[in-house]
Structure 1
Amino acid sequence: MDIRNRIAKRVAAYFKAGDVVNLGIGMPALCPTYSDPTVMFHTENGLIGVGPVAQGVRKVENFCNASGQEFTPLAGACAFDSATSFAIVRSGRLAATVLGALQVAENGDLANWARPGYMVGMGGAMDLVSGAPKVIIAMELCTKKGAPKILKECSFPLTGKGCVSHIVTEQGVIDVTPDGLVLTDILEGVSPEDIASKIEPNLRISDDLKIMEA
């Protein structure tokens, strides 16, 4: 399984039957493939009931997720305007939101919408991180140049303060807790020391450390 799908599959393990979950662009859009079929996915451009990415004749331009991918709506799906979509977010009706990140701080601060020197970032998500009770980050552990993305403090403009619950990467899963970052899952063949060396903050190891499916 490639890195993106490995991350999406692990993220999907957080969802339970009947949840309404928002999915951001990129890797989060892969989650429906691995989720309980009764989980209802929300896209902020106006639909609850996002199904798998559509193939062939199932592609319909009217049904696109936040990544611009055509998808197949699930039975019972509901479409609405953008104002209603964000009212759902702001009223706290989501179980969780799944987003990518440029940086995450040890206290759960998130930066994912802009970075200095670039015209645009990954898209604003201020409403999402404020309205969802659980924020799950799906991202690779380091940048393409090998720099850490989990930092003591974010240097990029913040999307939200203290909002991140879980960080799912290709090498392991880290929970953000009041006592600091805790490694809960790890990829077989990777050591806790390997992950600790690729992040800035101190990393605690869960007493119930699990092996992450490759």
Structure 2
Amino acid sequence: MTAMLNAGWTREQIAARAAQELRDGFYVNLGIGIPTLVANYIPTGVEVTLQSENGMLGMGPFPTEDEIDADLINAGKQTITELASSSYFSSADSFAMIRGGHLDLCVLGAFEVAENGDIANWATSENDTAPAVGGAMDLAVGAKRLWAVMEHTTREGRPRLLRRCSYPLTAPGVVKRVYTNLAVLDVTPRGFAVVEMAPGVSHAELQAKTEAELIPC
């Protein structure tokens, strides 16, 4: 889990950086992958309620070995912990919360994000035989704000932050902020605006690994 991606921040550091922006009182859904790690880095003194599509409010951090309960899982089938304030309900009620606009934030992983905020995170081809969209489409349009937490490039070095997504879209124009192993970027009417770069990353390097034109910080 601590292996470096391409450069800059590790997976845990990306999650911790995103967690710094959580605000007291937020109701938040964390997607599969790097976003789930955000639960381990919620700042002290900040009360955030984590929601899971399979019917839970109030998820705690990942369990230690002696805390594992195989019956207590999140929507990605990972074991989790509960809190004193946790509550459980049906998946139908869970999606009513999502579709009703009751979530302050959703943090999703992504294959690609476009400079206009389009996100593609459920299929890499029109011909995928077993697409796993899950609740991503509902979350992308139902949450009040959406952050993408992802690797900046593919394993082959191909940019994931693009002028236009090449994969089937999850939702158009919904991403507000992107956290990668190289930088934090806001999606603005002018495109990707650099908020912060990981230590040791230059603007030239960041631009070389991004297809879309970057607005400097």
Q: CA deviation at 1:55?
A: 2.0
Q: Which residue in 1 is equivalent to 2:129?
A: 119
Partners of 2:102 and 2:63 lie apart in 1 by 27
Equivalent residues of 1:21, 1:42 under 8 A apart? yes
Aligned residue pairs, count:
206
What letter matches 1:157 in structure 2? P
> How far does the alpha carbon of each residue in 1:81-105 deviate from its partner, in whole angstroms, 9 at most, with x for none?
1000000001111110011101111
Contact 1:112/1:121 (8 A) holds in 2: no
Are positions 1:53 and 2:62 aligned together? yes
Give 4+ residue runs of structure 1 displaced > 4 Å after superposition.
Answer: none
1:26 and 2:38 are equivalent in the alignment:
no
Please tell me whether the aligned partners of residues 16 and 39 of structure 1 are also in contact (alpha carbons under 8 angstroms): yes
Question: What RMSD in Å do the two structures reach over aligned CA positions?
Answer: 1.4
Structure 1 unaligned blocks of 5 or more = 207-214
Match of 1:16 in 2: 23
Match of 2:53 in 1: 44
1:137 matched to 2:144? The reply is: no
Deviation string 1:2-36 (CA, Å, 9 cap, x unpaired) is: 51101100111121111110001111111111103
Q: 1:95-110, aligned counterparts within 5 Å?
A: 95-110=104-119
- d(CA) in 2 for partners of 1:200 and 1:120? 29
TM-score, normalising length from structure 1? 0.92
- Would the aligned equivalents of 1:173 and 1:185 in 2 still touch at CA under 8 Å? yes
Structure 2 residue 90 is matched with structure 1 residue 91? no
Tell me, in whole angstroms, the C-alpha distance in 2 between the residues paired with 1:53 and 1:68.
12
Q: Which residue of 2 aligns with 1:179?
A: 190
Distance across 2 between alignment mates of 1:24 and 1:121: 16
More strand by percentage:
1
- Alignment CA distance shift 1:119-1:55 (3 Å): farther
Question: Residue 119 of structure 1: CA displacement?
Answer: 3.5
Equivalent residue number for residue 210 of structure 1: none
SS of match in other structure, 1:52? coil
* Distance of 1:155 and 1:91 partners within structure 2: 30
Unaligned ranges ≥5, structure 2: 4-9
Larger RCO: 1 or 2 (CA < 8 Å, sep 6+) = 2
Which AA in structure 1 matches 2:124?
A: R
Task: Compute the TM-score of the two structures, normalised by the length of structure 2.
Answer: 0.90
